[in-house]
Chain A
Amino acid sequence: MPMSSYNIPIGPVHVVLEEPIYFKLQVEGETVVGLDINAGHVHRGIEFLTMQRNFYQNLTLTERVCSLCSNNHPFTYCMALEKLAGIEIPVRAEYLRTIADEIKRIASHLFNIGIIPHIIGFDSLFMHAMEVRESMQDLKESVFGNRMNLSVNTIGGVRYNITDEQSKYIVKTLENLKKPLAEITKICRTDASIRRRTEGIGVLPKDKAIAYGVVGPVARASGLPYDVRVVNPYAAYDKLTVYPAVEQNGDVFSRLLVRLQEAAESIRIIEQCLHDMPEGPTDLGYMPDIPAGEAIAKSEAPRGELIYYARTNGTPIPERIKWRVPTYPNWAALNVMMPGYKIADISVIIGSIDPCISCTER
């Protein structure tokens, strides 16, 4: 007798989704057989808005595209415009950009590291991860003055500087973060109740990962050592050593491990930056004009490769700004990850790609 087939709606409003998106799942019995993604609930027309404002107003606007990777948007936007105008930014500014970026990465990864246990019902670890993450929020607040949007980047440099005192404070905070992070990593690696819900779930094989062009932790969990910081260094990454975390199994567990390792790696990168950072100016000292032209820049956001395209015509207002965010290829790969798994696994698979809907629909 054929099993009954029916549809389950996940979203647009669902406990597991932090942002509105609508997944229509075809289910047979308890097993998922198909997936339909219906996006567009948080489209705000930000790309259009960037073409109404001048280059400097857009710094503020792009920072507000999304929350967890908010630093990467103005960061990459600035890099695209600097490339277009041929601006060389001071070396210290490169380091400062890198530091801000890595702090945001730790905060973003720890958020997802907390969310995954929450989805599988392990709320104690969720609370613990969030408590650990709070030290990063404090760090952001005391160094940058904000807990979410850092307002670090400007065209030609950065808008903050790190004093010796702040440098010591950052080193101390990171030192205090190491132990709880190692503890969480150990729990995630060894706890049987986490492993039985994440191992072998939502597998994305390497060949499919290549075919779908997935990026970020999702790609690295499937055995692809693709990290923009390594393959195409920007800011200060050419002067630093970055070891991309790569796992081979491509399941939810691997993606969790990749994020844990990357958070630890980010701590090391920031320490390296603070150690190597030269003295000097942090910006150009003036607001440069942007000539006509077009350029493209990319960076490694916490969720993967973020690409910005900019075309200008010599006026203070860009002719076209276009970006491709990491979630866009990653959520398409859900078509591979979902079928064959149980209804109970749907949420954790969605959570494991760490979807950022606001970025993707902007």
Chain B
Amino acid sequence: MNIADFLVNALLFPGGLFAVLLGLFLTGLDRKIYARLQRRVGPPIYQPCIDVVKLSQKEMVIPKTANYTAFRLAPLLGFAGMLAATAIIPVAGIYSGLYQSGDLLVVLYLLSAPALALVIGASASGSPYSSIGLSREISIMLAYEVPLLLVFFTIAMRVGMALGGTAIFSLSSIVNFQLSHGSLLFDVTLLPAFVAFLICIPGTLGVVPFDIPEAETEITEGPLLEYSGMGLAMFKLTGGLKMLVLAALTVALFFPVGFGDFWLVNLVWFIFKCILVMFFTTTLIRAMQARMRIDQAYKFYLLVPTALALVSLVLTATSFRVG
């Protein structure tokens, strides 16, 4: 890989500009569908773009009690982490990813970047609401990372064993395997893992019923409370990117197969699949549920998705031993 390719992939497509715009589009679409589900008109789909432009022009107020450097840099950390993740995840038929091995683990680390950014920003801001949000963010992160890791490991093992070796933590290998052997979504043994992964998405994104760290009516946006201007815009961008990263990851792990070789068809198909994932894991769920309490969410994540992921892990391991 040469430097020019790297720069294009990281800054223009599929990372960088394209990812930011697609992330904002997904956020806008989510808000629009959510509004229509509630029989509201809803904001235009480009509303998140307007919000980001507006916020970036505003002054960033930094509280006296805040730690200046950490408070300023925290939003960047989350944004950078997500931007890096978009450049790593391959898009079938268009883009084969930055690395050839171990990038699944890198994505797992990068996925916690926005949560860590919130934690750092919240602890630097010195507001009591933020510190409540911070402790909740850490609790829920600990809870959803367990099933997430199990799902990743199950898939790595499934692909690795099918190819006659040990677990493969390479996203491009996993995608290529599915391109030649069919999507993992249609593998019955991986169905529980798929469900577990979908359940983890709203928790990672922090939307109802798992918007506990930001719970607007309880702790008034928690960690984001003291943020304004560019800092808040960064967090909004990070949110959009995170939605895209999770949707793209779902697509890459479970149903990357596209149509033929023409890039435009594959791109549209990819975006459509991202919208589908977003609709079923975010929009629909948050229109149908009330927020959980942190103890309820913690228990839920350590019981339901973890159990589902374990079922898949055991099924995958045993099916290959017998076969």
Contact = CB atoms under 8 A, between A and B. Distances in A.
Interface of A: 6-9, 14-16, 30, 117-124, 127-128, 131, 191, 193-194, 196-197, 342-347
A16 B215 CA distance: 11
A15 B293 contact: no
Interface in B207-228: 208-209, 211-212, 215-220
A194 B292 CA distance: 9
B82 to A, nearest CB: 24
B290 A117 contact: yes
B295 A194 contact: no
B128 A119 contact: no
6 contacts: A8-B129, A9-B128, A122-B290, A344-B212, A344-B218, A344-B293
Contacts of A131: 39
Given A8-B128, A8-B132, A127-B39, A122 B217 contact: no
A15 B216 CA distance: 7
A343 B128 contact: no
Nearest to B38: A127
B38 A123 contact: yes
A98 B188 CA distance: 63
Contact of B289 (A8, A122, A343): A122
Nearest to A121: B291
What class of interface size applies to chain B in its complex with A? Answer: 20 to 34
Contact of B217 (A9, A16, A30): A16
B211 A121 contact: yes
Given A8-B128, A15-B220, A123-B38, A342 B289 contact: no
B128 A6 contact: yes
A127 B128 contact: no
B220 A121 contact: no
Contacts of A344: 212, 215, 218, 293-294
Given A119-B217, A343-B219, A347-B218, A124 B291 contact: no
B181 interface: no
A124 B217 contact: no
B2 interface: no
The main secondary structure of chain A at its interface with chain B is helix
Given A9-B128, A121-B291, A196 B38 contact: no
B61 interface: no
B40 A127 contact: yes
Interface in B223-268: none
A118 B215 CA distance: 11
B288 interface: yes
Contacts of B12: none
B290 A121 contact: yes
Contacts of A127: 38-40
A194 B290 CA distance: 6
B217 A121 contact: yes
Contacts of A15: 216-217, 220
Contacts of B129: 8
B69 interface: no
Interface in B256-300: 287-296
A47 to B, nearest CB: 33
B162 interface: no
Contacts of B40: 127
Contacts of A123: 38, 208, 287
Nearest to A29: B135
B291 A120 contact: yes
Given A8-B132, A121-B215, 6 more contacts: A9-B128, A15-B220, A121-B217, A121-B290, A193-B292, A344-B294
Nearest to A13: B220
A262 to B, nearest CB: 22
A223 B198 CA distance: 43
B295 A342 contact: yes
A73 to B, nearest CB: 29
B291 A30 contact: no
Contacts of B208: 121-123
A345 B291 CA distance: 11
B163 interface: no
A182 B294 CA distance: 31
B73 interface: no
A129 to B, nearest CB: 11
Nearest to B207: A121
Contact of B37 (A124, A197, A343, A345): A124
Contact of B296 (A6, A30, A119, A196): A196
A334 to B, nearest CB: 16
Contact of B38 (A124, A193, A197, A343): A124
